[in-house]
A = this chain, B = another copy of it.
Amino acid sequence: MTYCLGILLEDGLVMASDSRTNAGVDQIATVSKLSTFATPGERVITVLSAGNLATTQAVISSLRHAWGNGDPHRDLTLATSLFDATQKIGDCLRDVLAREASFVHPYGDPSASFLVGGQIAGEAPRLFQIYSAGNFMEASERTPFLQIGETKYGKPILDRLLRHDTGLPEAAKLTLLSFDATMRSNLSVGAPIDLLLYARDTLEARRLRSFDEGDPYLAGLRQGYAAGLTSLVAALPTPDM
């Protein structure tokens, strides 16, 4: 399984993914599910991947191969908006599935989904979710975050605390707490967590950090949250019954 989270904020975007891939409990590996395509000063496109690893890697490889090659259907340097870029990625997913799905079906599920977040000069930052069918929907102020993969364990803390006007550093912290909740409750989601902070209008993807299992900040955050939550709940009254 996988957990990927994209957040659309007034100040920019947070894009994050875990790194565990598994086909059964005895075939576990660490892969990157966060891919960045950028021309500094002009466009930043971040893609988070969930689902069949062969499918997602085929899509990402095709996009890397086409970057700057002038192919009107694949080249993300030609995308005139993030909507246009997302449509190209969705079309690429459809092409990969058209080629692979019938061969994969006897063995498993070939489907995949993506979160696409970024900014192209002339637009505000935008965030999209591409479904397995290749169609997609966009985040808005009212729905400031999108998730794919193992989404439920990490949703309550976001529902409670995340808002469209949350600052980037605060949103990064909430993202790591959301991943921590997911990793504690589900073995198939695992570190390192890849986290990209994108500040609106910077048009570069430099604030990227990978948090591994022993990362001191992550360890301190977990410990502080666990201790604080224990005290918080202990201080609340018990029901009279």
Contacts and interface: CB of A to CB of B under 8 A. Distances in A.
Contacts of A181: 156
Interface string A131-155: 0000000000000000000001111
Query: Copies of this chain, how many?
Result: 2
Contact of A239 (B154, B176, B229): B176
The DSSP consensus for interface residues of chain A is helix
A25 interface: no
A10 B181 CA distance: 26
Nearest to A226: B160
Contacts of A153: 152-153, 155-156
B232 A195 contact: no
Nearest to A241: B209
Interface string A156-186: 1101110000000110111011000110110
Nearest to A207: B241
A219 to B, nearest CB: 12
B185 A159 contact: yes
10 contacts: A153-B153, A153-B155, A156-B182, A160-B184, A173-B233, A195-B241, A208-B241, A224-B237, A225-B232, A225-B233
Contacts of A220: 237
B173 A239 contact: yes
B233 A232 contact: no
A107 interface: no
B173 A156 contact: no
A53 interface: no
Contact of A174 (B152, B161, B233, B237): B233
Interface string A180-221: 011011000000000101000000000111010000010011
